[in-house]
């Protein structure tokens, strides 16, 4: 943990047990049911750590208690594209069933809960080795490979409406922020059904879409026991191999 000098881990809800080294460049932070405020604060802290360690990477694997986040704004159609998304009205904030955090990433209102796998890559982009486009594509591709091994079919990543999809149903969302060429925020993939969150989303338009669009891995393949840990392990194996 040499990349974390004099860091008060407790202030972020962390301990040394939440860290391990994937390789000489890459520190993994793994924390389940991590309070969103602590996770967001740690991402901001990680950005400062990489200022003086630009070759290092901090990759966060986590999930959160039920919470909503809102980004800088919904995706805009490119030239020749058309799609209709429903913007979140901030005057309705008081009617939301869970805490709402206004954050730096791209995208609109979205949701988190303990049934998700969330991946926050804190790393310096490099156009010749790991561009933003390559990074986001490969994050989705690694997730597809793991789920295909578990029997999922028909998964694809989309740039028109950014995400991981099966036909017209959305399995994972992506929202990235960049400061000084360093990325933070990332992907939220729905592994398990959360019935309470599902009911709450009926009155919300996550990422500008109907809540009926969203599915979980549990609905499209057979998840192994301890699926969250096993997904994390298989996902990180692919990162270690691909992101030298």
Share of the chain above pLDDT 70, in %: 98
Given a contact cutoff of 8 angstroms between Cβ atoms, the answer to whether 39 and 62 are in contact is yes
Task: Please tell me the distance from the alpha carbon of residue 216 to that of residue 214, in angstroms, as a whole number.
Answer: 7
**Which residues are catalytically annotated?**
207
SS3 for 227?
Answer: helix
| Among the listed residues 65, 49, 87, the one whose alpha carbon sits nearest the alpha carbon of residue 184 | 49
Per-residue pLDDT at 84: 80
Question: Is the pLDDT assigned to residue 51 strictly greater than 60?
Answer: yes
* 141, 133 Cβ separation under 8 angstroms: no
CA distances, 184 to each of 45, 82, 207 (Å): 11, 28, 18
pLDDT one-digit tens code per residue, 57-96: 999 999 999 999 999 988 888 776 767 888 888 778 888 9
Residue ranges and CATH numbers for the domains of the chain are 9-72+88-242 (3.30.930.10)
What letter does residue 223 receive in the DSSP assignment? Answer: P
pLDDT digits (tens, 9 = 90+) for 118-163: 999 999 999 888 999 999 999 999 999 999 999 999 999 988 889 9
Sheet order of strands, 57-62 included: 19-21, 26-31, 57-62, 116-122, 182-190, 169-179, 163-166, 155-158
Q: What confidence score (pLDDT) does residue 120 get?
A: 98
Using a pLDDT cut of 90, give the percent of the chain over it: 83
pLDDT on residue 81: 73
Q: What is the pLDDT of residues 212-222, one digit of tens each?
A: 999 999 999 99
Task: Residue 110: name the closest of 198, 207, 33 by CA.
Answer: 207
pLDDT above 90 for 196: yes
pLDDT of residue 82: 67
| Average pLDDT value for the chain | 94
- Check residue 1 and give its pLDDT: 53
**Does pTM top 0.85 for this prediction?**
yes
Q: Which long-range contacts (CB under 8 A, 24 or more apart) does 20-25 make?
A: 22/59, 22/236, 22/239, 22/240, 23/240, 25/55, 25/56, 25/57
């Amino acid at each position: 943990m040499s990349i974390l000098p004099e860091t008060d881990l407790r202030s972020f809800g962390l301990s040394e047990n939440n860290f391990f080294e994937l390789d000489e460049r890459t520190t993994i932070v793994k924390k389940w049911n991590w309070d969103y405020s602590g996770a967001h604060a740690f991402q901001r802290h990680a950005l400062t750590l990489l200022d003086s360690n630009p070759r290092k990477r901090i990759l966060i694997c986590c999930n959160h208690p039920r919470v909503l986040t809102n980004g800088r704004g919904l995706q805009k159609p490119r030239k020749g594209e058309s799609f209709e998304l429903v913007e979140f009205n901030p005057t309705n904030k008081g009617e939301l069933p869970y805490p709402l955090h206004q954050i730096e990433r791209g995208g609109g209102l979205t949701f988190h809960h303990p049934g998700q796998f969330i991946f926050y890559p804190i790393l310096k982009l490099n156009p010749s080795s790991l561009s933003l486009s390559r990074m986001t594509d490969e994050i989705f591709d690694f997730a597809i490979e793991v789920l295909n091994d578990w029997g999922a079919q028909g998964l694809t990543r989309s740039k028109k409406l950014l995400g991981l999809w099966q036909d017209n149903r959305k399995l994972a969302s992506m929202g990235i922020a960049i400061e000084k060429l360093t990325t933070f925020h990332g992907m939220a993939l729905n592994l398990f059904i959360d019935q309470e969150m599902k009911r709450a989303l009926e009155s919300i338009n996550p990422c500008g879409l109907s809540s009926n669009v969203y599915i979980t891995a549990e609905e499209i393949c057979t998840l192994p026991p301890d699926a969250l840990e096993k997904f994390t392990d298989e996902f990180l194996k692919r990162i270690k191999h691909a992101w030298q």
